[in-house]
Amino acid sequence: MHSFHYQRGKLTCESYPLDKAAERYGTPLYVYSSHTIVDHYQRLDRALHELHHEICYAVKANSNLSVIRLLADQGAGFDIVSGGELYRVIKAGGNPTKCTYAGVGKSREEIEYALRCEVLSFNIESEQELSAIDEIARSLNKRAPIAIRVNPDVSASTHKYISTGKTENKFGIAIDRVAEVYDRAQKMSNVRIRGVQMHIGSQITEIKPFVQAIEKMVPLVRQLKSDCGIEFFSIGGGIGIVYRGSLESGDKIWWKEDQSRHSLTIQEYTGATIPLLKSLSLRVLLEPGRFLVGNAGVLLTRVLYVKKTPAKTFVIVDAGMNDLIRPALYQGYHEVVPLRESRDQPLTKVDVVGPVCESGDFFAMDRDLVRIEPGDLLALMSAGAYGFTMASNYNSRPLPAEVLVSGSEAKIVRRRQSYADLIEHEIAEG
């Protein structure tokens, strides 16, 4: 369920009209619905009530301080992948002792910082990292809480760039080696074993990979519970969302991204996984990112030009791949809809492209759109996850502003960068 709908001919977020946001704050502009974020969190939380569980929001999906705060207020923990994300969580009022710290390349500075902040757990991704953390913890006279990230070698049937649970991926430690590594960890004086973790990929829209991975893990988890006294099993994130048809089907939580439009509901996800997890009698951690925020955000953009060539019609907009890179990076799909509702009008096939000097700078190819004119406003739907967090200054384009809507109110939660901001840290030597 998300909160973007046409009301009296205008696309609105909750009850705030989006054309008003564009006029007020300019474009390109990210707009998030606080209601959608909270609603998704609460639905997942309720569906898991049978389990002793903790939802650790994956901050990399959307790390705006106000988004973190919203989820911290709901009681969320956080899944972080850098010292910078830990800093954000703390600044937003989140609790560092509810943070799980993942990532294959944690630096010494980051490890020291996380140890000082007393994170819940370091998710260990290699044996060298385990030794490094033991050594760094010793130098600080601390014991590092750890969970080993297991690579269960299952196929997540998602884009290859966001698949993480196969042996050819760089993540985790192979399942058949894990017991041995826990054995080593038990002998380390500055490491404390707290749990076991996995995360098989992102935008997974079928239940099968989740079930396969958990089933593969269960015997190991049982063994670790008795041998090492682990307290938690983190099953990671990866729950897929609706991208296609996300506007008209706002009442579905997530769908399979194919033509058959088979829907997979949150009840199906928890219905299939809870029975496997319940018998473990352990605390279960989940690390959803996209699921909580993906459909809670849109990127607003204004049409600059409509360029017709013999082969194509290009709708050139003022947002670019530097603002939203998902289509260029992994063929991510976003619905493109006009802010002004237009029913029963003829459709033409257009490419919606940005101003950046790259042919990969597009949002939609051969998409059916109603007649578009320069000056029109469009929304790129479902841009709340891996949108702003992946934005860059490429082509020296200032980062867009971000707005958080609650009911009929909109608040700026990150101001637009200025040209001066672009060069703030630079030095013109000589």
**Which is nearer to ligand PLP, 21 or 383 (by Cβ)?**
383
Question: 317 with 378: CB under 8 angstroms?
Answer: yes
Give the span between the Cα atoms of 239 and 256, in whole angstroms. 11
Token pair 């207020």 in the structure block, residue: 73
Question: 26 with 290: CB under 8 angstroms?
Answer: no
Choose which of 77, 152, 237, 327 interacts with ligand PLP (CB under 6 A). Answer: 237
Q: Residue 155, Cα to own-chain centre: how many angstroms?
A: 20
Find all residues with CB under 8 Å of 338, minimum gap 6, and list them. Answer: 11, 369, 370, 372, 376, 377, 378, 379
Q: Which of 13, 56, 228, 357 is catalytic?
A: 357
Using the rule CB under 6 A, is 238 a contact of ligand PLP? yes
Residue 343 tokens, joined: 């029913």
**Which is nearer to ligand PLP, 94 or 237 (by Cβ)?**
237
3-state secondary structure of 64: coil
Residues 89-148 close enough to bind ligand PLP by CB under 6 A: 102
Question: 146 with 130: CB under 8 angstroms?
Answer: yes
Least Cα distance to 36 among 65, 61, 70 occurs for 70
**Which is nearer to ligand PLP, 354 or 387 (by Cβ)?**
387
Identify the DSSP state of 417.
Answer: P
Find all residues with CB under 8 Å of 383, minimum gap 6, and list them. Answer: 30, 297, 298, 299, 324, 326, 334
- Which one of the spans 3-11, 44-52, 230-238, 358-366 is the region binding ligand PLP (CB under 6 A)? 230-238
**Which is nearer to ligand PLP, 80 or 280 (by Cβ)?**
80
Q: Which amino acid is at 105?
A: G
**Which is nearer to ligand PLP, 289 or 320 (by Cβ)?**
289
- Which one of the spans 1-9, 249-257, 282-290, 319-327 is the region binding ligand PLP (CB under 6 A)? 282-290
Question: Minimum distance between the CB of residue 253 and ligand PLP, rounded to whole angstroms?
Answer: 13
Token pair 């939660």 in the structure block, residue: 413
Give the span between the Cα atoms of 415 and 401, in whole angstroms. 5
Size of the site for ligand PLP (CB under 6 A): 18
Least Cα distance to 295 among 329, 262, 266 occurs for 266
Question: Minimum distance between the CB of residue 159 and ligand PLP, rounded to whole angstroms?
Answer: 11
Question: Where are the alpha helices (H) located in 48-172, listed in sequence order?
Answer: 65-73, 83-91, 108-116, 127-139
Active site residue 99: no
Q: Mask 186-225, x = binds ligand PLP (CB under 6 A)?
A: -------------x--x-----------------------
Question: Minimum distance between the CB of residue 308 and ligand PLP, rounded to whole angstroms?
Answer: 38
Choose which of 13, 48, 58, 221 interacts with ligand PLP (CB under 6 A). Answer: 58
Strand partners, 314: 307, 351
Q: Which amino acid is at 348?
A: T
Q: Mask 285-324, x = binds ligand PLP (CB under 6 A)?
A: --xxxxx---------------------------------
Choose which of 83, 145, 236, 400 interacts with ligand PLP (CB under 6 A). Answer: 236
Question: Minimum distance between the CB of residue 415 and ligand PLP, rounded to whole angstroms?
Answer: 26
Q: Which amino acid is at 101?
A: Y
Residues 160-189 close enough to bind ligand PLP by CB under 6 A: none
Counts for the chain of helices (H) and strands (E), in that order: 12, 21
Question: Minimum distance between the CB of residue 119 and ligand PLP, rounded to whole angstroms?
Answer: 14
Using the rule CB under 6 A, is 40 a contact of ligand PLP? no
- Which one of the spans 4-12, 53-61, 215-223, 271-279 is the region binding ligand PLP (CB under 6 A)? 53-61
Choose which of 40, 60, 252, 334 interacts with ligand PLP (CB under 6 A). Answer: 60
- Which one of the spans 57-65, 221-229, 263-271, 326-334 is the region binding ligand PLP (CB under 6 A)? 57-65
Residue 37 tokens, joined: 């974020």
Residues 356-395 close enough to bind ligand PLP by CB under 6 A: 385
- Within 13 A of 153's CA, how many CA atoms are on the CB side? 8
Choose which of 13, 51, 61, 193 interacts with ligand PLP (CB under 6 A). Answer: 61
**Contact residues for ligand PLP, defined by CB under 6 A:** 58, 60-61, 79, 81, 102, 199, 202, 236-239, 287-291, 385
Catalytic residue numbers, as ranges? 357
